[in-house]
A and B are shown apart, each in its own frame.
Chain A
């Protein structure tokens, strides 16, 4: 019997174990998630036993890559969650907290499954994944949200040297006690590195827009909720789940100030972010 390798990826203090008998895939996963790996021993893990466990098998290379641009299908059927995209299939049981992924030899399928798992877990824990970069400065996290091309990566790269980037693409936010915390994530674009595996309370969220003259204005709560809902990741067409997300967005907008930030790609924009 072939030895199995287990990689435990801890995002937001939620460890998820990925086991595979394919050494090449284990190496790919270790590279992809290197900053977010935790001990494979449940007893010695700072965050306890893995919240989920996935067994991953690799689709033999037939010269096809599998279409990662194909629409992702997410369905809840008979108590199981089923995912399907061109480059992978996956299934997991939220009761037993176990599942499997059948995928191509690449980091992208496991990355997508982790995003979806965290989205579903967060929806029940007053949290969400947001299309946003997030940066920690002086112990406070600032989120910068917007669609592709809005400047999320740019503003993270312009951050002062005393700042830490949690992510330049997908922010992880969860309510802890009476405040919202942002956590680093390994969910990066293909050309960028993962974020720092640290966390900080969220001080503000900014909706990005390009402008030659930088400016920012405070958003009313309703506008903040709209901005959040347009950028929160969710995958399942489930009314109860989106109701939870909408509740969380309303709660977040009441707790955290939101701004529209117009900026040019110039490091001076950081002088206005307090």
Chain B
């Protein structure tokens, strides 16, 4: 499987509240609340770290889950967040979103 890189989309505001990330999209005011695993994926979305490294080094360590299950779940989250326009994905490293506007304070 080739590496998947992912970064936060632009034109979003995101903050972490009580362990969950809340995301507000500027263009249509849509509100999203991420569960703890999706929050871990979101926080690791630096555009440089591939998904399998995030799953191995973050998800499997923070949550009591085996690698295969974690990779499947994280891939699903990534596809979902990407379909909703919250994350950008690529098979090459990506530049991060504008740090003033994305979830830098999350």
Contacts and interface: CB of A to CB of B under 8 A. Distances in A.
A229 B22 contact: yes
Contacts of A239: 10-13, 26, 101
Contacts of B100: 240
A226 interface: yes
Interface stretch (B27-35, B44-52, B57-65, B68-76): B27-35
Contacts of A226: 22, 31, 33
A147 interface: no
A244 B101 CA distance: 10
B15 interface: yes
B26 A246 contact: no
Given A222-B20, A238-B26, A240-B101, A246 B33 contact: no
B101 A225 contact: no
B24 A237 contact: no
Interface in A227-274: 229-230, 234, 237-243, 245-247, 250, 253
Interface residues of B, number: 21
B1 interface: no
Given A239-B101, A243-B13, A222 B29 contact: no
The secondary-structure label for the interface of chain A is helix
Contacts of A59: none
A26 B20 CA distance: 50
B31 A230 contact: yes
A220 interface: yes
Interface string B1-45: 000000000111111011110101011110101000000000000
Contacts of A229: 22, 24, 31
Contacts of A237: 11, 26-29
Nearest to A234: B29
A241 B11 CA distance: 11
B13 A220 contact: no
B22 A225 contact: yes
Give 10 closest A-B pairs by Cβ, nearest first. Answer: A243-B13, A222-B18, A239-B101, A239-B26, A222-B17, A242-B13, A221-B18, A237-B26, A246-B13, A237-B27
Given A222-B17, A242-B13, A246-B13, 9 more contacts: A222-B20, A225-B17, A225-B22, A237-B28, A237-B29, A240-B101, A242-B26, A243-B13, A246-B14
